[in-house]
Amino acid sequence: MNMKHPTIKKQVFDFIMRYGLVSKASLMEKMTVTSTSLSRLLEELLNDGLILASELGRSTGGRKPILYRVNPAHRAVFGLEISRFSSSIGLYDLNLKPLAFERWKMDERMTPEALLTKITNLVEKMLKDCDVEKSKVIGIGIGAVGPLSREDGIIVKPRYFPAEGWSDVPICEWLEHQTGLPAKLDNGANTAIIGEHWALRNEEVKHMLYVHVGVGIRTAMIASGQIVRGAVDMEGSFGQMIIQTDGPRLGDEGNYGALEALVSIPALEKKIRSQLKLGRSSSLSGIPPEEIQFDALQKAYRSKDAFITEQFLQTASYLGIGIANLINILHPEAVILGGPLVNAHKSIYETVIQVARSNIYYSPQYEPKFTQGQLTEDAVTAGAAIMLLQEWELN
């Protein structure tokens, strides 16, 4: 797959794909191209089967304009999420409509080899069920837990996977060999924000922050419509923000008093287990503390267990403080919050944004829009497919 600077032809196609149904006049307003050249490019796209000339638009006095739209059946693309809590794969058409989708829990049996087998089987099944020829598939976009090497297509050394073997996994090479399809890797926070930015495309949001809280804390930022990248993969760096100088450390690495040590699912499980061992009263008191997992904590919270509620809301408050710190530095227009911890209950999300709002420096003159996103838990998968479409060179 050739990934070059987009040609004018690709820019025209991308604009049509982004806005759905457009006239030549609206394309002329957005692009620096002559009317003759644009007519030629539209004709090429029509002849290639990439776009369709749709119903006529509303007349403004003269002839009704022709409206152009993407031909959804011309190609297809896979989006894949590889995460610690769950993973998923979707097959999408050129309108980013999911033709097939499947999600599964990640457990101690889901080694890289087991996952590769599962994905390979699902790719073949989805193509067969949806009657899509493999030759029409652009490739597989992957959003995975970091740290990773995007250029080399390698998942480097992620923490807290339930299964063994998740170090230095050449996931792109493996998938290309097994499926015969090109593969492109980025961290899941980046593909999620690509997906959410796409979902909000009609609102023209230029500066967006995405925060995903689950087994770890993952963040991504879009500035002036582009992903912000550092010298290294930055996905987990927000979790190492120190918000309590004499605070705990999560495991044997990372900073003391880091946000991740106070907010992530492992941190919450560890804290609650410790308190239960000290004799705190809870509906979970009859269960051996070391056997208590996040699913049980969610159920206890929803049943209004006073102790568990206290722990969840304290965690949400710490997260709100951390997000306020990021907002005060980055000043995004929109902040999208996702992940199993934030999505555990509406009141947790509300507590996070309440605390964040109360700690924004320029509030109320400046306040970003808070949301749980349009794509929610499917954002990573859909965004991985969109990433591939955005970088695809027409041929």
* Token code pair at residue 269: 């499980």
pLDDT band at 62, cuts 50/70/90? low
pLDDT band at 1, cuts 50/70/90? very low
pLDDT for 15-50, tens place per residue? 898 888 888 888 888 878 888 888 999 999 999 999
The set of residues, in sequence order, having a beta carbon less than 8 Å from that of 279 and lying 6+ positions away, is none
Same domain, yes or no, for 162 and 240? no
Write out the residue range of the structural domain in which residue 38 sits. Answer: 8-70
**243: closest CA among 227, 256, 224, 225?**
256
CATH of the domain at 110: 3.30.420.40
Same domain, yes or no, for 189 and 275? no
pLDDT at residue 307, rounded to an integer: 95
Instruction: Say if 183 falls within a structural domain.
Output: yes
pLDDT band at 257, cuts 50/70/90? confident
Q: Establish how many alpha carbons lie within 13 A of residue 202's alpha carbon, considering only the half-sphere containing its beta carbon.
A: 5
Same domain, yes or no, for 239 and 318? yes
DSSP H or E stretch at residue 386:
helix 379-391
pLDDT at residue 2, rounded to an integer: 40
Computed over every residue of the chain, the mean pLDDT equals 89
| 197 CB burial (10 A radius; 0-12, 13-18, 19+) | buried
Indicate the number of domains in the chain: 3
pLDDT at residue 228, rounded to an integer: 84
Instruction: Say if 200 falls within a structural domain.
Output: no
Instruction: Say if 1 falls within a structural domain.
Output: no
Which carries the bigger pLDDT value, residue 70 or residue 64?
A: 70
Integer Cα distance of 175 and 59 in angstroms:
50
Which carries the bigger pLDDT value, residue 15 or residue 65?
A: 15
DSSP category for residue 286: T
Same domain, yes or no, for 93 and 30? no
Instruction: Say if 2 falls within a structural domain.
Output: no
The DSSP string of 316-379 is HHHHHHHHHHHHHHH--SEEEEESTTGGG-HHHHHHHHHHHHHT-TTTTTS-PEEE--SSGGGH
The set of residues, in sequence order, having a beta carbon less than 8 Å from that of 48 and lying 6+ positions away, is 74, 394
Among the three residues 51, 70, 89, which one is the final residue of a domain in this structure?
A: 70
Same domain, yes or no, for 16 and 141? no
Same domain, yes or no, for 222 and 258? yes
Which carries the bigger pLDDT value, residue 59 or residue 108?
A: 108
CATH of the domain at 23: 1.10.10.10
Model confidence at 231: pLDDT above 80? no
pLDDT at residue 60, rounded to an integer: 57
Tell me what percent of the residues of the chain surpass a pLDDT of 90: 60
pLDDT at residue 233, rounded to an integer: 61
Which carries the bigger pLDDT value, residue 159 or residue 217?
A: 217
Mean pLDDT score, 283-312: 92
Instruction: Say if 43 falls within a structural domain.
Output: yes
Same domain, yes or no, for 283 and 226? yes
Among the three residues 27, 43, 70, which one is the final residue of a domain in this structure?
A: 70
State the CB neighbour count (10 A cutoff) for residue 230. 7
pLDDT at residue 55, rounded to an integer: 66
Integer Cα distance of 228 and 234 in angstroms:
9
Same domain, yes or no, for 64 and 140? no
pLDDT band at 243, cuts 50/70/90? confident
Instruction: Say if 26 falls within a structural domain.
Output: yes
Same domain, yes or no, for 56 and 96? no
pLDDT for 110-128, tens place per residue? 999 999 999 999 999 999 9
Among the three residues 52, 70, 88, which one is the final residue of a domain in this structure?
A: 70
Same domain, yes or no, for 268 and 355? yes
Scan for tokens 């992903």, then name that residue: 227
Integer Cα distance of 351 and 361 in angstroms:
18
Same domain, yes or no, for 55 and 88? no
- Judge contact between 24 and 66, C-beta under 8 A: yes
Same domain, yes or no, for 231 and 357? yes
SS3 259: coil
Model confidence at 75: pLDDT above 50? yes
